[in-house]
Chains A and B, each alone.
Chain A
Amino acid sequence: MSCQEIRPLLHAFLDGELDPARSLDVQHHLEACPGCARQHEAHGSLRAALRDEALYFKSPEGFESRIRAALGSKGAPGVFRWIRLTWLPAGAAAVLLAVSVIAIWRAGSPAPGLFADETVGREVVASHVRSLMASHLTDVPSTDQHTVKPWFNGRLDFSPPVKDLAGEGFALVGGRLDYLAGRPVAALVYQRRLHVINLMVWPAPGEPDRFATVAPHQGYHLFHWTQGGMSYWAVSDLNENEMKEFVRLLQP
């Protein structure tokens, strides 16, 4: 190789970023060419000058604990840990009580429709928020619909349709089991930029196809539809227009 070809490679050679074949070419050239070898040495001495410990700015004393404190007050992980440890028995009792109250109430009130949508919508939002909080977004992290769909086999008594919309800018990131509206459901997780979208799916046998308008809840957009005997809920903090696009893409 000529000097013209070698010179631009010297930086990558020095940085160990050349493939072995080209690295060997450069090595051989440097052994034969004093001009390029001098260049290479100059790069080396500049590097030595920069690899000086005095040039690394260490963060000041106590900086890390200040950051941890700031994160603690925002993310409140400390509080959750405390609640979990101290209130676990009491919390479990309260949940049990609530569940039985709801069970009794449900037995006596057969009101489906709008009111039911709103109740389920609230559950969907709660599930969405929980999924973002507890680092339990996915049970099966995968961008491949052919991995996510079979994963639900044996975990659910139905097979949720899984669509990959990466080409449309909604990347599938995985799936999760969740418990909603009194039954286990499939939660499919999609991502648009930094926004997470949860799509909850469960069977709704005999229900007619319909699209329900659900008001945003706690700043999260909610969309609900029934199609082909399946009930769908999509929830995200993504803006309304992009959510509508997402919902449109899911409908055949």
Chain B
Amino acid sequence: MARFERSVLPHIDSAYNLARWLTRNGHEAEDLVQESLLRAFKAFHGFRGVDGRAWLLAVVRNVCYTWLRRNRQQELTTEFDEKIHTLEGDMLNPERLVLREGDSARVRQALEKLPAEFREVLVLREIEGMSYKEIGTVVDVPVGTVMSRLARARGRLQRELTGPPGEER
């Protein structure tokens, strides 16, 4: 228990933040984080790594995805969008994104509109401040996939914020 307290419990806020972004619902996030911590506690004897945060967030993500599959199937299906699978889709439109003070509500709505697999990498990278390697551990994909997914996610988010990219470039 002492080791669990030291390496996992300090990350309850990170766990809640991720669950809140994935479910977009405070009450669900609380329930799912609690369930995740109980699971993590039971499985903890198998934990040999050093990164308690990434390990806990991987558990949280699994629990949240099970919930999403049951309740929000449509958010998990990333529709195939020709644009986002090309370099073109990764490009941001530098002219249009002008964010003002107090625009966080708009950014939040835009981020919430993204499919879960894009939303989670942005949350882990920008809000949680994780490295590609740590994100790879949480999401269970190689570092290269983390990079390309982040690139697409940024392109998508910017389009949510500014509308479709212009023709110049």
List chain A positions with a Cβ less than 8 A from chain B: 7-8, 11-12, 15, 17, 35, 38-39, 41-43, 45-52, 54-60, 63-64, 66-68, 70-71, 74-75, 77, 132, 135, 137, 141, 173, 191, 193-196
Q: Which secondary structure characterizes the binding site on chain B?
A: helix
A39 & B1 in contact (Cβ 8 Å cutoff): no
Residues of A within 8 A of B57 (CB): none
Distance (Å) between the CB of A194 and the closest chain B CB?
Answer: 4
Nearest residue, chain B, Cβ from A50? B126
**A59-B13 contact, Cβ under 8 Å, with A46-B92, A67-B33:** yes
Binding site of A, secondary structure by majority: helix, strand, loop or mixed? helix
List B residues at the A interface (Cβ < 8 Å).
1-3, 9, 12-13, 15-17, 20-21, 26, 29-30, 33-34, 37-38, 41-43, 45-46, 48, 87, 90-94, 97, 99, 103-105, 107-108, 111, 122, 125-127, 131-132, 143, 147, 150-151, 154, 157-158, 161, 169
Query: Known: A11-B150, A42-B93, A191-B46. Is A50-B107 also a contact (CB below 8 A)?
Result: yes
Most chain B beta carbons < 10 A, residue from A57, A135, A195: A57
Cβ–Cβ < 8 Å partners of A55 in chain B = 104, 107-108, 111, 127
> Considering only CB atoms, which chain B residue lies closest to A77 in the complex?
B1
B46 lies within 8 A of A51 (CB): no
Q: List 15 A-B contacts (CB under 8 A).
A: A7-B91, A11-B151, A42-B158, A45-B94, A46-B157, A46-B161, A49-B161, A50-B107, A50-B122, A52-B104, A55-B104, A56-B127, A59-B17, A70-B34, A132-B45
Complex formed: what's the CA distance from A194 to B157 in Å?
A: 37
